[in-house]
């Protein structure tokens, strides 16, 4: 395991680097378009040059992680985001015209996007490259200086990210700090101009509490129990294939993985059988299959076993199509895909975010019952609905609340450059990706260019000493009441 070094030394370095970055930002603000493009170019090239090492580092942290999944789910989306950002950055940086209130015409208004200063990024372990460096792309595009704290649970990847960033960025511009949990707590206590954290809701509370001491604005990308709802008219085999693919990528260790499935009672057995076929086709021997990812730790694997045993003890039927060797889980850090039939609210699998390869199946008698089931729970990071009827789709979209939605598939709303990605309520706050990320890490500064005519009018009628003309003007601007329009509002 990589050595993070003496924590007290890293702590002193952390505070020193923050001061250095603050000073450097003041010296160089605002960074021009060319400099921002230069930074993005350098980041793109260092990722492309180190693809094989990235795959090896992530493999080391997980014990086993499919190289195909690392390229597909981390390297490609990150590279694609950098290229998209480079293409659009100039237009994002332009001041945008805004309409001045008619009372102030012929004055004019603008919105300027200004870099905030020093941005802090706390990355997670489940996608340690993408979810650590994607916020960096957005923050650099917005003209900020950045400090990055990768997850200590993926130490090999953290050290590689630090090495890569050191080769392309001076420390006063972008720097990586590696260390354990204590350093993460100290990191979140720095008075950043913005802090983004990706991880669990429990840790997110600590991060937000620490940031509040400095009134630091935060973006929290958390998780929760993202439901997949399958209408009985949708082809069951297609729904099972798409849900299982998203669920078992990275062995379920994905914040937007479908956490549980809602199906009608008449379609449950057909859906479970279809899931079994998908699992047997994709991962016939997960204990030795290099395309099937390990859990990040023995503790994570043991937690999966406990969730399954709790569900079984409370009356659920557990289907594990591929193997009966789950007792080897703790030593090998691999847990085979499992389906929980007859899952109910008393089971831990329906109370906790699973974050692993367990798929509970819940039966609901109607779309309305399903929507009420979802609404009674904390708002999820994602919702997946399978249906081809436009009116029902519109109803689900309008009556459910979630961070994002993919209709007729799972997860693919996340890499869309022009869609904001973020949670709501318990699943997070704020959003990023594409222009939305540029906007998150920028100050939208409103500017009014007042005309001389407006200034004369204000001085004549709306500044002391007031006169009867002022009162007449204010009455005109305010308007007269309509007694018949005053009534109690009902729902």
The whole-number pLDDT of residue 327 equals 46
**Do residues 194 and 250 both lie within one domain?**
no
Residue closest to 219 by CA, chosen among 127, 139, 128: 139
Domain boundary (387, 420, 453) is at: 420
Q: How buried is residue 187: exposed, middle or buried, by Cβ count under 10 Å (0-12/13-18/19+)?
A: buried
**Do residues 16 and 42 both lie within one domain?**
yes
Q: What's the CATH code of the domain at 133? A: 3.40.605.10
Catalytically annotated residues:
221, 255
80 part of a folded domain: yes
Band (pLDDT 50/70/90 cuts) for residue 484 is confident
The whole-number pLDDT of residue 287 equals 80
How is the beta sheet containing 317-319 ordered, strand by strand? Answer: 317-319, 338-341, 358-363, 260-263, 227-230, 382-386, 404-407
Band (pLDDT 50/70/90 cuts) for residue 154 is very high
C-alpha separations of 335 from 241, 302, 324, 461 in Å: 20, 9, 11, 76
Q: Report whether 326 contacts 226 (CB < 8 A).
A: no
The whole-number pLDDT of residue 330 equals 47
The whole-number pLDDT of residue 11 equals 79
Q: What is the pLDDT of residues 282-298, one digit of tens each?
A: 988 888 788 999 999 99
452 part of a folded domain: no
**Does pTM top 0.75 for this prediction?**
yes
The whole-number pLDDT of residue 31 equals 95
Q: Which residue has the tokens 């990528």?
A: 249
Q: Report whether 21 contacts 145 (CB < 8 A).
A: yes
Percent of the chain with pLDDT over 90: 87
pLDDT of 4 higher than 80 = no
468 part of a folded domain: no
Q: Which residue has the tokens 């479908």?
A: 258
Query: Out of 132-141, 218-227, 277-286, 368-377, which region has the weakest mean confidence (pLDDT)?
Result: 277-286
CB burial readout 468-491, b (16+ within 10 A) else e? eeeeeeeeeeeeeeeeeeeeeeee
Query: Out of 178-192, 284-298, 328-342, 395-409, which region has the weakest mean confidence (pLDDT)?
Result: 328-342
Q: Which residue has the higher pLDDT, 322 or 269?
A: 269
The whole-number pLDDT of residue 331 equals 55
pLDDT of 7 higher than 80 = no
Q: What is the pLDDT of residues 38-87, one digit of tens each?
A: 999 999 999 999 999 999 999 999 999 999 999 999 999 999 999 999 99
Q: What is the mean pLDDT of residues 289-311?
A: 94
The whole-number pLDDT of residue 485 equals 86
**Do residues 316 and 407 both lie within one domain?**
yes
329 part of a folded domain: yes
**Do residues 344 and 202 both lie within one domain?**
no
**Do residues 357 and 397 both lie within one domain?**
yes
308 part of a folded domain: yes
Q: Which structural domain range is residue 86 located in? A: 7-222+433-443
Q: What's the CATH code of the domain at 410? A: 3.40.309.10
**Do residues 75 and 166 both lie within one domain?**
yes
**Do residues 217 and 248 both lie within one domain?**
no
The whole-number pLDDT of residue 434 equals 97
The whole-number pLDDT of residue 328 equals 52
Distance CA 257, CA 262 (A): 14
**Do residues 385 and 259 both lie within one domain?**
yes
**Do residues 208 and 353 both lie within one domain?**
no
**Strand partners of residue 112:** 445
480 part of a folded domain: no
CB-hemisphere CA count at 13 Å for 483?
Answer: 0
449 part of a folded domain: no
CA of residue 307 relative to chain centroid, distance:
25
pLDDT of 326 higher than 70 = no
Q: Which residue has the tokens 């973006």?
A: 219
Q: Report whether 120 contacts 174 (CB < 8 A).
A: no
| Number of structural domains the chain divides into | 2
199 part of a folded domain: yes
Band (pLDDT 50/70/90 cuts) for residue 491 is confident
The whole-number pLDDT of residue 5 equals 57
pLDDT of 310 higher than 70 = yes
Query: Out of 188-197, 321-330, 387-396, 399-408, which region has the weakest mean confidence (pLDDT)?
Result: 321-330
The whole-number pLDDT of residue 9 equals 75
**Do residues 317 and 200 both lie within one domain?**
no
**Do residues 164 and 39 both lie within one domain?**
yes
Neighbours of 235 (CB within 10 A): 12
**Do residues 201 and 234 both lie within one domain?**
no
Distance CA 408, CA 423 (A): 20
pLDDT of 329 higher than 70 = no
């Amino acid at each position: 395991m990589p050595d993070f070094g003496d924590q007290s030394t890293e702590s002193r370095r952390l505070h020193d680097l923050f001061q250095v970055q603050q000073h450097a930002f003041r010296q160089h603000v605002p960074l021009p378009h060319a400099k921002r493009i230069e930074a993005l170019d350098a980041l793109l090239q260092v990722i492309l040059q180190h693809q094989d090492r990235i795959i090896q580092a992530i493999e080391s942290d997980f014990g086993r992680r499919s190289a195909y999944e690392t390229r597909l789910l981390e390297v490609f989306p990150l590279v694609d985001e950098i290229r998209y950002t480079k293409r659009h950055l100039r237009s994002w940086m332009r001041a945008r015209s805004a309409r001045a209130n008619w009372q102030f015409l012929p004055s004019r208004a603008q919105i300027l996007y200004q870099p905030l200063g020093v941005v802090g990024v706390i990355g997670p372990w489940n996608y340690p490259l993408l979810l650590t460096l994607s916020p960096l792309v957005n923050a650099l595009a917005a003209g900020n200086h950045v400090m990055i704290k990768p997850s200590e649970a993926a130490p090999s990847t953290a050290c590689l990210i630090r090495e890569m960033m050191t080769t392309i960025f001076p420390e006063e511009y972008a720097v990586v700090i590696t260390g354990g949990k204590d350093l993460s707590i100290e990191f979140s206590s720095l008075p950043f101009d913005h802090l983004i954290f990706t991880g669990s809701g429990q840790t997110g509370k600590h991060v937000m509490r620490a940031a509040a001491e400095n009134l630091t604005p935060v973006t929290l990308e958390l998780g929760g129990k993202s439901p997949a709802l399958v209408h009985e008219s949708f082809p069951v085999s297609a729904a099972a294939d798409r849900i299982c693919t998203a669920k078992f990528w990275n062995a379920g260790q994905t914040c937007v993985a479908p956490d549980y499935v809602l199906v009608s009672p008449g379609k449950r057995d057909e859906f479970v059988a279809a899931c079994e076929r998908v699992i047997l086709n994709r991962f016939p021997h997960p204990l030795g299959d290099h395309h099937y990812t390990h859990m990040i730790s023995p503790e994570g694997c043991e937690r999966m076993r406990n969730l399954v045993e709790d569900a079984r003890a409370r009356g659920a039927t557990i289907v594990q199509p591929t193997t009966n060797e789950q007792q080897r889980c703790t030593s090998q850090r691999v847990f085979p895909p499992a389906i929980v039939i007859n899952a109910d609210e008393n089971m831990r699998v329906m109370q906790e975010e699973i974050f692993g390869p367990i798929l509970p199946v819940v039966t609901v008698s109607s779309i309305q019952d399903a929507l009420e089931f979802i609404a009674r729970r904390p708002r999820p990071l994602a919702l997946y609905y399978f249906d081809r009827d436009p009116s029902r789709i519109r109803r689900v979209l309008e009556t459910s609340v979630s961070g994002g939605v993919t209709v007729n598939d799972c997860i693919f709303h996340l890499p869309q450059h022009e869609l904001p990605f973020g949670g709501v309520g318990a699943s997070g706050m704020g959003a990023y990706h594409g222009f939305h990320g540029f906007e998150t890490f920028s100050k939208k500064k409103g500017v009014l260019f007042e005309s001389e005519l407006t200034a004369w009018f204000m001085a004549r009628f709306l500044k002391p000493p007031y006169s009867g003309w002022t009162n007449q003007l204010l009455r005109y601007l305010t308007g007269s009441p309509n007694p018949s329009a005053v009534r109690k509002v009902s729902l």
